[in-house]
Structure 1
Amino acid sequence: MVGEERDFRTGESIGLTIGSAVLWGVAHIATGRQRTGFALMTLYLVVVAFIITLATAFRGQLLSLAVRPSWLMGLTIAIASIAVIWSVVILWSFWLVRPATAGRSAAAATAGLLCLLIIAPSAWATRLAYVSHDVVSSVFSATSTTPVVAMDPWNGAPRVNILLVGADAAANRVGVRTDSMTVASVDTATGATTLFSLPRNLEQVQLPKGPARERFPYGFTGEGPQTPGLLNEVYQYAEDHPEMVPGVRAGHRGSTLLKETVSDILGIPVRYYAMVDMAGFAEMIDAMGGVKITINEPIVYGKYNEGLLPAGTRKLSGAEALWYGRSRTNSDDYVRMGRQKCLLNAVAQQADPVTLLNSFERLATATKRAISTDIPQDLLPALVDLGQKVKGTHIRSLQFVPPLISTADPDWNLIRDKVADALEDRPTGPKPATAKPSSTPGSTPSATPSPQGPISLDQVCG
């Protein structure tokens, strides 16, 4: 029998419709459809139990699942399907217990509102899953040069080394300059991380064996006044000269040669890279609502001293954070390198889930524009798990800058020894700096001392 035959009053109809939204099948049982009602209840309880189990027992794996494109697509379909089924159950229940004509409008409005309350958050969650899928698919490679094994994604390697590059393209320069180059060396078991920073103005850089070294047998010297031969020019030089990295397609030549070059400098295998465009990085910071930084001394920025970042702890906008990380006014490259590490550390620590969710679409759009990498999609779950371990450790940093290293005439053996000491956690002792005097006219040594061993970023970033 339908509602009119059972003569449901308006209040009863509204109550049963709401009850059916909370527990499927209530209205069906009330109208004598026990078999259908109990079937709907069972289905509802199965769905709820699955969601609760997923959110509790598998809570630690949810973040890893969120970077799997196939799982994200399945989640998108599942959320949309549940929302549609739930809405159908609500409307079906209303139809069964609809009151006489006098109160039908109020009951219908209630049913419509309940459907809206189900569809709106489901649509938001579906959109979130779809955007996540789009970001993962756009930024990360679908194929891996090395098969990723679920039981051991790092193939037995005790550490994974990733080159983090800050790239700056400007209207007054040709191509891209990699002005910030840092290798994050992460212990795959504990998450213990050491950052090795190379200054952009390293000279006489030895390129890897093959066509690159054949062209520059005594170190990279560039080609004319536009490329005087600094480390930050290697990326664009490789992109402009395909013969330097034969068999590698455009857009990947620069990163390939830069990874191999940095591997040789540090004496460790650099497996992956991630490059962030600095303007896009500012957009990402704006999307997350700014970043809180402790500024130890006032920072003047701009070619003509257009602005000032006062000392103290404050929240910086994307543009201000960009100046914090790139300004060299009244300082030098090496002070700037230290600030860049503090900035990256602050962004990593402050990118909490609530902040990311609140500005997810803006952040996703900025990320697609700002980041390029060769990290494969199938490695992302393991990388996310490793990132959780890194968050619980004190990140250490070692910068190869004067007086430890002369950028004009680097001691490559000393660099490799320092890296080995840091990764084996050997005390460096009172070794004196062995930097050689600069042979480049007009070069200015940094007034910023370089530590003999890695230091915790907590000690310098506040």
Structure 2
Amino acid sequence: MADQNYRPQRTAAERASRVRFRRAMALLLITLLLPGSAQLVAGNRRVGRIAIWTVIGLALTAVLVFLISLVWQGLLFQLGTRPWLLGVLRLGLIVGGIAWAALFVDAWRLGRPLELDLKQRRIVVAINGALAFSVAATMLFGAHLVNVHKGMVETIFAGAEAAEAHNGRFNILLAGADSDGGKTRTGLRPDSLTVASIDAITGRTVLIGLPRNLQNFPFDDGSPMDKEFPRGFDCDGCYLNGVSTWANDNKVYQDEKDPGMAATVDAVEGITDLQISYYAIVDLNGFEEIVDAIGGVTLNVRQPIPVGIPSDDFYTHIEPGVKKLDGWETLWYARARHDSDDYSRMARQKCVLNAILQQTSPADVVRHYQDVAKATGATITTSVPPSEIELFSRLALKAKSQKISTLSLVPPVVDTADPNMSKIHAEVRKAVKKATPKKEEAFKSQSESSGTGEDGETKAPAPTNKPEATGDSGKGGPVTGGSLGSRNKGYQANETDDLASAC
């Protein structure tokens, strides 16, 4: 009876074939783990040494940057906002991907594929092709993302010179604008204007809203518009949101790249008596793409908010409740005026700004980076230079952990048809002073962390699911147009020391 445990002995040729196969696979594996190692042990040692020392040098550089960034968190922002450096990184990734794939092909050659049997040869070819394609595709995709980021930096951050803080604060004009599809005008016309006055040390922020229908206001002393309108913007039918169009049509800012925005800045400085450090323009036609890119925002909808107007075939409503809105819904939540008024809309816009600040985490941006970069690059332009991105990113993280104050220059505080400029300046000074920390608080903010969580994200309190009905809702007050308050009594989000609670 035959021995069931008997196994036929492999011939010398079979054993040699297995050794060659294992050697070929080992060369591919070490090329994956340490590019150039296959050449060092079995091929052109000079090529192997160059590849290995390149990898070691890059690894040490990455570790050094990581360790420094633990102490100086702004380093990554500094490195990530230099277009020339991003161009070098993109080129390096492309060359590295091609070179690594070439090392895999050479490692396959060093494995002597012609000495393998047909089955082994097919396996080695398949694995080599998969590895070479994978590493090259990964690095080329990384180069693509770097190029997307580089394009976003070059498109958005067009400023060349950094501005100093004015009286300890940076005043950023945020303009929501639209082009109306070129039907009646060219270029973007500001449809929403808000000044974010940010403490340069603590990040404490006050949002100052300016109504689009403000009339008879002065411009910054000595500005081209001040010379054209020494008694204020008092022409027939002239409103704040028409300053940009007037300046573009009349060419009073010959040396400015964007005359309309330059004139708008002069108007805002004349109205608020604040020195504007920078401006940022958001094309509202692309705003929904930004919201979609970050995954939507959660808002407390207190009343049905119309989407469109009754004559639109898509006309509907956003129903009350705490809801996560997509970009289309968020845009209409912020812009809707049907069954409402401009001032309620301004209040809702501030709630949207607060939600985006509090709910957008660095992890969300990284997860959807390509979509975020594409949307912001096509939608936002600003005079902030790349050198200041690190500063404002740090201030934004600090602002997440603090209450945001608001002031809106609207009725009943301000008569938009005949504004009292002395009163407006006094109200602005008072709001800014309340949002300016005392010396000991500023020192504490400088010496302590910005209050972020373990993952670098400040945890914002979730809104409570308590939509109020129209009319008197007790402590919350009346609700009109979707915002707490009313036109006659004022909307809470338009003037508050804690925007989150008013939203």
The TM-score with structure 1 as length reference comes to 0.83
How has the CA–CA distance of structure 1 residues 425 and 155 changed in structure 2, closer, same or farther, with 3 Å as cutoff? closer
User: 2-side partners of 1:142 and 1:335: how far apart?
Assistant: 33
Match of residue 453 from structure 2:
none
Quick check: 2:348–2:493 contact (8 Å CA) kept in 1? no
How has the CA–CA distance of structure 1 residues 329 and 124 changed in structure 2, closer, same or farther, with 3 Å as cutoff? same
1:163 counterpart = 2:168: no
Q: What secondary structure, in the 3-state scheme, does the structure 2 residue paired with 1:182 have?
A: strand
User: 2-side partners of 1:263 and 1:10: how far apart?
Assistant: 76
CA apart distance, 1:73: 1.0
Aligned partner letter, 1:285: V
CA apart distance, 1:276: 1.1
Match of residue 441 from structure 1:
none
1:45 counterpart = 2:52: no
User: 2-side partners of 1:419 and 1:204: how far apart?
Assistant: 18
User: 2-side partners of 1:71 and 1:40: how far apart?
Assistant: 22
Q: What secondary structure, in the 3-state scheme, does the structure 1 residue paired with 2:412 have?
A: coil
1:335 counterpart = 2:341: no
1:93-104 pair list within 5 angstroms: 93-99=107-113, 100-102=115-117, 103-104=120-121
User: 2-side partners of 1:161 and 1:116: how far apart?
Assistant: 50
Aligned partner letter, 2:226: R
Deviations 1:193-234 (A, max 9, x none): 1111111111211123344234333321234xxxx1211111
Query: Which one is further off, 284-293 or 406-415?
Result: 284-293
Match of residue 439 from structure 2:
none
Q: What secondary structure, in the 3-state scheme, does the structure 2 residue paired with 1:81 have?
A: helix
Aligned partner letter, 1:94: W
Among 34, 38, 41, the residue aligned to 1:23: 34
The TM-score with structure 2 as length reference comes to 0.76
1:88 counterpart = 2:102: yes
Match of residue 218 from structure 1:
231
CA apart distance, 1:163: 0.4
User: 1-side partners of 2:101 and 2:62: how far apart?
Assistant: 18
Quick check: 2:77–2:389 contact (8 Å CA) kept in 1? no
Match of residue 448 from structure 1:
490
Among 245, 263, 273, the residue aligned to 1:236: 245
1:286-325 pair list within 5 angstroms: 286-304=292-310, 306-325=315-334
How has the CA–CA distance of structure 1 residues 221 and 301 changed in structure 2, closer, same or farther, with 3 Å as cutoff? farther
Match of residue 427 from structure 2:
418
User: 1-side partners of 2:387 and 2:285: how far apart?
Assistant: 28
Match of residue 124 from structure 1:
141
Match of residue 431 from structure 1:
none
How has the CA–CA distance of structure 1 residues 414 and 248 changed in structure 2, closer, same or farther, with 3 Å as cutoff? same
How has the CA–CA distance of structure 1 residues 359 and 315 changed in structure 2, closer, same or farther, with 3 Å as cutoff? same
Quick check: 1:24–1:44 contact (8 Å CA) kept in 2? yes
How has the CA–CA distance of structure 1 residues 268 and 352 changed in structure 2, closer, same or farther, with 3 Å as cutoff? same
Quick check: 1:164–1:184 contact (8 Å CA) kept in 2? yes
Q: What secondary structure, in the 3-state scheme, does the structure 2 residue paired with 1:57 have?
A: helix
Aligned partner letter, 1:368: G
How has the CA–CA distance of structure 1 residues 326 and 426 changed in structure 2, closer, same or farther, with 3 Å as cutoff? closer
Q: What secondary structure, in the 3-state scheme, does the structure 2 residue paired with 1:58 have?
A: helix
Match of residue 69 from structure 1:
83
CA apart distance, 1:114: 1.4
Aligned partner letter, 1:119: A
Quick check: 2:157–2:383 contact (8 Å CA) kept in 1? yes
User: 1-side partners of 2:417 and 2:250: how far apart?
Assistant: 25
Query: Which one is further off, 409-418 or 263-272?
Result: 409-418
How has the CA–CA distance of structure 1 residues 453 and 333 changed in structure 2, closer, same or farther, with 3 Å as cutoff? closer
User: 2-side partners of 1:203 and 1:241: how far apart?
Assistant: 19
Match of residue 501 from structure 2:
459
Please identify the structure whose Cα radius of gyration is greater: 2
Aligned partner letter, 2:178: D
CA apart distance, 1:391: 3.1
Runs of 5+ in structure 2 lacking a partner? 1-15, 437-485
How has the CA–CA distance of structure 1 residues 327 and 108 changed in structure 2, closer, same or farther, with 3 Å as cutoff? same
Runs of 5+ in structure 1 lacking a partner? 428-443
